[in-house]
Amino acid sequence: MNGTRGNVAKDDKLRVEGATIFYRIGGSGPLLLILPGGHGDADTADGLYKQLIDQYTVVTYDRRGLSRSEIETPGQNLTLATHSDDAHRLLARLTNESALVFGSSISALIGLDLIARHPRQVRLLVAHEPPAWELLSASEREHAIRLQEEAEDAFRREGAEAAFKRFVTLAAVDYNDREPDAVVALPTSEHLADLSFFFTYDSPAVRQYHLDLGALHASAKQIVPAVGESAPNSAPHKAARALAAELGREVVAFPGGHTGWLLRPKGFAKKLAEVFH
């Protein structure tokens, strides 16, 4: 199966071990998997999705535990490898060919794990500001991990909104750095539930993850480390540059900051298409 032809989006579900994954697919052309960052689900990627469906068969999904992707035992052995295996199985369902992949933040790490484990599934991966703290200098690594742990502590003490504010600081997110018509959904009970899941399970999984550098070096030509151009001093930006240096690759700058894919979808999609072409 090579995706849905035409620009009508189709929602579907895929049963995987321990979860049911909700995904959305539409457009025409080469298959492009979008992995939203943070606690983002398929709806969060709509702005980017709509800019790309004239050129690509675009698929995006809710990570297990978020929104419509139901999980049987929340948090049980949940690692980034679990998430990358879900992406692997989704791609296997949709195509027999290698796919283009874009991932941001936690999902850039998931994309890196995917290409390390299943390099033949990925034609090209754009890894946008992965929180690969292990590649930073000792002092920068300690600072980034401390800020992330403080956000998780704030979640346990004060709740998801307080934790999210600390994460915004860590990633240097500026919600004023946006396209005029960019749509950011208002918080809902589902949004807060996704944030809670993220801080309970996904954020700790990021801190515990280690890159398979040997496998990544073997697939380095298929990896494009990417940064947001507006926050060069942020920890994720520095980590992406460290990844580029590690792999001997040029870093590519995208519009906006850590959430440029969300806040600047038109400019971001244009740059993404340039990279893939």
DSSP the chain: -----SS--EEEEEEETTEEEEEEEEESSSEEEEE--TT--TGGGHHHHHHHTTTSEEEEEPPTTSTT-EESSTTTT--HHHHHHHHHHHHHHH-SS-EEEEEETHHHHHHHHHHHH-GGGEEEEEEES---GGGS-HHHHHHHHHHHHHHHHHHHHH-HHHHHHHHHHHHT--TTSS-TT---PPP-HHHHHHHHHIIIIIHHHHHH----HHHHHHTGGGEEEEEETT-TTSHHHHHHHHHHHHHT---EEESSSTTHHHH-HHHHHHHHHHHH-
Q: Residue 112 and residue 120: Cα distance in Å, rounded?
A: 13
Question: Mind listing the domains of the chain with CATH numbers?
Answer: 10-276 (3.40.50.1820)
Mean pLDDT confidence for 46-58: 96
- Average pLDDT score over the chain: 94
* Residue owning tokens 């999984």: 205
Percent of the chain having pLDDT more than 70?
97
Compute the C-alpha angle 208/141/219, nearest 5°.
65
What backbone phi and psi angles, to 5 degrees, belong to 11? Answer: -100, 140
* Residue owning tokens 């971001």: 268
Q: Residue 164 and residue 244: Cα distance in Å, rounded?
A: 28
Percent of the chain having pLDDT more than 90?
90
For residue range 53-94, what is the model confidence (pLDDT) as tens digits?
999 999 999 999 999 999 998 767 899 999 999 999 999 999
pLDDT of residue 1: 39
* Residue owning tokens 């943070």: 38
Burial 119-138 (b: 16+ CB within 10 A, else e): bebbbbbbbbbbbbbebbee
Mean pLDDT confidence for 148-167: 95
Rg of the Cα atoms in the chain: 17
For residue range 162-204, what is the model confidence (pLDDT) as tens digits?
999 999 999 999 999 999 998 877 777 788 999 999 999 999 9
Burial 99-114 (b: 16+ CB within 10 A, else e): bbbbbbbbbbbbbbbb
Does the pLDDT at position 127 exceed 80? yes
Does the pLDDT at position 95 exceed 60? yes
For residue range 205-226, what is the model confidence (pLDDT) as tens digits?
999 999 999 999 999 999 999 9
pLDDT of residue 243: 98
* pTM for the full predicted model: 0.95
pLDDT of residue 5: 46
* Residue owning tokens 């949004």: 191
User: How many CB atoms lie under 10 A from the CB of residue 186?
Assistant: 5
For residue range 217-273, what is the model confidence (pLDDT) as tens digits?
999 999 999 999 999 999 999 999 999 999 999 999 999 999 999 999 999 999 999
At 6, the pLDDT band (50, 70, 90 cuts) reads low
